[in-house]
A and B are shown apart, each in its own frame.
Chain A
């Protein structure tokens, strides 16, 4: 158990819908990262937050957005869903904004868009 929690574990929804994925980092970790894992794209970095502020952006679509709240939990919002958005979405956390720090991954949310 990494200490990172993600809800829900599974999500099935229809095209065009909007969903929210939730992540609680390890106690004391200030950085939260979101990654997408799909068969065709592999593991891709989406976005990073540090202590409530956006820190870095990766290959995140404009239909996707995220935020980190004062209690440090984070939410990833996916809207106007398409079939290609079906994937595993991971959240990871790390203690601080320092070089070489390992990231601890949650169990993931499996999103299926039908």
Chain B
């Protein structure tokens, strides 16, 4: 069964500092990996997705993620945090044809310190 594990349920960074949110996956090849963001009282918005075309994936709002098969990781990064990045971030995995449901991690709440 496919799964993702997010390390750290809460992460705090200073404004302007590097954001690093960790996600490790367990899946048969190929995994399809996603990062979603959820702002308070809103739905989930897709930040980026990995579908094997490139290991470094660029998303919206300056975020990117690197797929590392050797480490079974798909960590999310942003060079410089903004106050508006405060939200909950979810890593998710889906399967191949016929198994398109998303399996989510437990989420990481990102707090930005002014």
Which residues of chain A have a CB within 8 Å of any CB of chain B? 2, 4, 31, 33, 35, 42-45, 48, 55-56, 58, 90, 92, 94, 97-108
Contact = CB atoms under 8 A, between A and B. Distances in A.
A48 B90 contact: no
B106 A108 contact: no
Q: Is the interface of B mostly helix, strand, loop or mixed?
A: loop
A10 B95 CA distance: 32
B101 A107 contact: no
B104 A101 contact: no
A104 B46 contact: yes
B46 A42 contact: no
A58 B43 contact: no
A102 B46 contact: yes
Contact of B94 (A44, A100, A105, A108): A100
Contact of B34 (A55, A97, A102): A102
Given A100-B32, A107-B43, A58 B97 contact: no
